[in-house]
């Protein structure tokens, strides 16, 4: 009986704490459908729900609609994901399957960069990219990933290395007996088995680049090239009142692509993370 009372009390306490933690999120979701005169209300449910915030927010920025900003963000994120998956998986294949001088040393260097904040390298990167004429383009985001760098590059390499190590080497030896070289082993043997890891890396890479407000704010200057995050910032003007309802509505739409991606790929995500700790 005492155990039942303790269990009930602990569950009740967790429910209360969860409700307190969820209140800001629920209020934000309700504010999306509130008219401007209700936004100051603490009520979670709008008294006069409206969809005007979506229609007005979509075209709130002069000469530009959010279709442009969503297109820019999706195009950038998909390009980065495609480049990162290819480059990081190739580097990981080299570390996991090939022998070369100082291999363990270089892999340790890759892992050490996991502890290096991106903000530490932003100044020299900006100077370098500016000398290349890449400012106000998407190249500062794509090219580093083509070289297995960029946001999370070393983490992606580590994930791929751990997954490839779980693949039996006997498959490589059988492929070599059939006359396959290293690249054919990578493309025909390893890549088809890497699907869970590729999906995992793709999800992380997509979401991290979708949310990379700091880097986008530094390198992108033209409004026509703005991403969703930069467009949302334009709603907040220190010189005038911000249209909070429209901002909340566009913020809600901004999380839809990531939520949809996660919903349809969560099975591969769990499988990819679960198997990266195994070794063949």
The model's pLDDT over 117-159, given as tens digits with 9 standing for 90+, comes to: 888 888 999 999 999 999 999 999 999 888 877 778 888 999 8
Q: How many CB atoms lie within 10 A of CB 179?
A: 7
Q: Is 74 exposed, middle or buried (0-12, 13-18, 19+ CB in 10 A)?
A: middle
pLDDT at residue 111, rounded to an integer: 87
Domains of the chain: 2-52 (no CATH), 66-275 (1.10.3720.10)
pLDDT, tens digit, 9 for 90 and up, residues 177-192? 888 888 888 988 899 8
Q: Which residue reads 């919903």 in tokens?
A: 263
pLDDT of res. 266: 77
pLDDT at position 271 is 65
pLDDT recorded at residue 81: 93
pLDDT at 98: 87
Q: What is the reported pTM?
A: 0.84
Two structure tokens written together for 239: 């010189």
- Regions of the chain short of the pLDDT cut 70: 1-2, 237-241, 270-280
Q: Which residue has the tokens 């480049």?
A: 83
Contacts of 212 (CB under 8 A, 6+ apart): 141, 151, 229
User: In sequence order, what are the residues at sequence separation of 6 or more whose Cβ sits closer than 8 angstroms to the Cβ of residue 235?
Assistant: 57, 60, 242, 243, 246, 247, 250
Q: How high is the pLDDT of residue 142?
A: 92
């Amino acid at each position: 009986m005492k155990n039942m009372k303790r269990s009930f009390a602990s569950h009740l306490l967790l429910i209360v704490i969860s409700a307190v933690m969820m209140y800001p999120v629920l209020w934000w979701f309700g504010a999306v459908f509130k008219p401007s005169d209700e936004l100051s209300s603490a009520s979670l449910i709008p008294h006069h729900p409206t969809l005007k915030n979506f229609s007005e927010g979509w075209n709130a920025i002069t000469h530009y609609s959010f279709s442009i900003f969503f297109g820019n963000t999706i195009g950038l994120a998909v390009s980065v994901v495609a480049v990162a998956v290819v480059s990081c998986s190739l580097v990981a294949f080299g570390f996991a399957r090939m022998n070369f001088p100082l291999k363990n040393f270089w892999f340790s260097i890759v892992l050490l960069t996991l502890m290096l904040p991106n903000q530490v390298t932003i100044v020299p990167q900006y100077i370098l990219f500016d000398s290349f004429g890449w400012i106000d383009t998407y190249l500062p985001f794509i090219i580093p990933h083509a070289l297995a760098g960029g946001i999370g590059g070393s983490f992606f390499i580590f994930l791929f290395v751990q997954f490839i190590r779980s693949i039996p080497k006997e498959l490589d030896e059988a492929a070599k007996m059939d006359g396959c070289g290293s690249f054919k082993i990578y493309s025909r043997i390893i890549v088809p088995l890497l699907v869970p890891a590729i999906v995992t890396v793709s999800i992380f890479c997509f979401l991290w680049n979708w949310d990379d407000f700091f880097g986008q704010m530094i390198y992108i200057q033209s409004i026509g090239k703005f991403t969703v995050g930069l467009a949302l910032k334009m709603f907040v003007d220190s010189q005038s009142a911000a249209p909070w309802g429209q901002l909340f509505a566009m913020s809600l739409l901004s999380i839809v692509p990531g939520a949809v991606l996660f919903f349809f790929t969560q099975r591969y995500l769990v499988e990819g993370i679960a198997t990266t700790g195994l070794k063949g």
